[in-house]
Amino acid sequence: MLNIEQDKSLVNFNTFGFDAIAQSYLAVTSKAELTQAMAYIAQQGLAYQVLSGGSNLLISKYVAGLTLHMQIKGVSVVDENDEHVFVEVGAGENWHEFVEFCVSKEWQGIENLALIPGLVGASPVQNIGAYGVEIKDVLVSLKAYDFEQSRYVELVNQQCGFGYRDSLFKHTQGRYLITAVTFKLNKQPTINVKYKALQDYIDKTVKKEISIQDVFDAVCAVRASKLPDPSVIANAGSFFKNPCVTQQQFDQLLLEEPNIVGYSVANNEVKLAAGWLIDQCGWKGFSEKGVGVYEKQALVLIHTGGATIDDLLDLARKIQQSVFDRFAVQLEIEPQPFPLLANSQI
Q: Which residues are catalytic?
A: 165, 238, 334
* Residue selected from 63, 66, 236, 312 as contacting ligand FAD according to rule CB under 6 A: 236
Say which amino acid occupies 281. Answer: C
* Residue selected from 24, 71, 123, 344 as contacting ligand FAD according to rule CB under 6 A: 123
Q: Which residues of 51-73 are buried (b: 16+ CB within 10 A; e: fewer)?
A: bbbbbbbbbbeebbbbbbbbbbe
Residue 123, class by beta-carbon neighbours within 10 Å (0-12 exposed, 13-18 middle, 19+ buried)?
A: buried
169 or 183: whose CB is closer to ligand FAD?
169
9 CB contacts (<8 Å, ≥6 apart)?
19, 20, 21, 22
Q: Alpha-carbon distance 274 to 297, whole Å?
A: 10
Any contact of residue 245 with ligand FAD (CB under 6 A)? no
* Residue selected from 10, 63, 128, 316 as contacting ligand FAD according to rule CB under 6 A: 128
* Residue selected from 129, 262, 275, 292 as contacting ligand FAD according to rule CB under 6 A: 129
Any contact of residue 65 with ligand FAD (CB under 6 A)? no
* Residue selected from 24, 52, 280, 344 as contacting ligand FAD according to rule CB under 6 A: 52
211 CB contacts (<8 Å, ≥6 apart)?
189
Any contact of residue 244 with ligand FAD (CB under 6 A)? no
**x-marked contacts with ligand FAD along 185-204 as a string, rule CB under 6 A:** --------------------
Any contact of residue 227 with ligand FAD (CB under 6 A)? yes
Any contact of residue 37 with ligand FAD (CB under 6 A)? no
Q: Alpha-carbon distance 323 to 276, whole Å?
A: 10
Residue 144, class by beta-carbon neighbours within 10 Å (0-12 exposed, 13-18 middle, 19+ buried)?
A: buried
Site for ligand FAD in 246-285 (CB under 6 A): none
Any contact of residue 34 with ligand FAD (CB under 6 A)? no
Say which amino acid occupies 271. Answer: K
Any contact of residue 312 with ligand FAD (CB under 6 A)? no
Taking CB under 6 A as the binding criterion, the range among 43-51, 189-197, 268-276, 309-317 that sits at the site for ligand FAD is 43-51
| Sign of the torsion angle spanned by Cα atoms 285, 298, 50, 33 | negative
Give least dist CB 338 to ligand FAD, A: 6
Total residues interacting with ligand FAD, rule: CB under 6 A: 36
* Residue selected from 169, 183, 240, 250 as contacting ligand FAD according to rule CB under 6 A: 169
* Residue selected from 70, 198, 260, 281 as contacting ligand FAD according to rule CB under 6 A: 70
Are the CB atoms for 215 and 189 separated by under 8 Å? no
Other CB atoms within a 10 A radius of the CB of residue 19 amount to 14
Any contact of residue 17 with ligand FAD (CB under 6 A)? no
Are the CB atoms for 99 and 119 separated by under 8 Å? no
244 CB contacts (<8 Å, ≥6 apart)?
164, 265, 269, 270, 271, 272
Which residues make up the interface to ligand FAD (CB under 6 A)?
15, 49-57, 70, 91, 116-119, 121-123, 125-126, 128-130, 165, 169, 176-178, 227, 230, 235-237, 336, 338
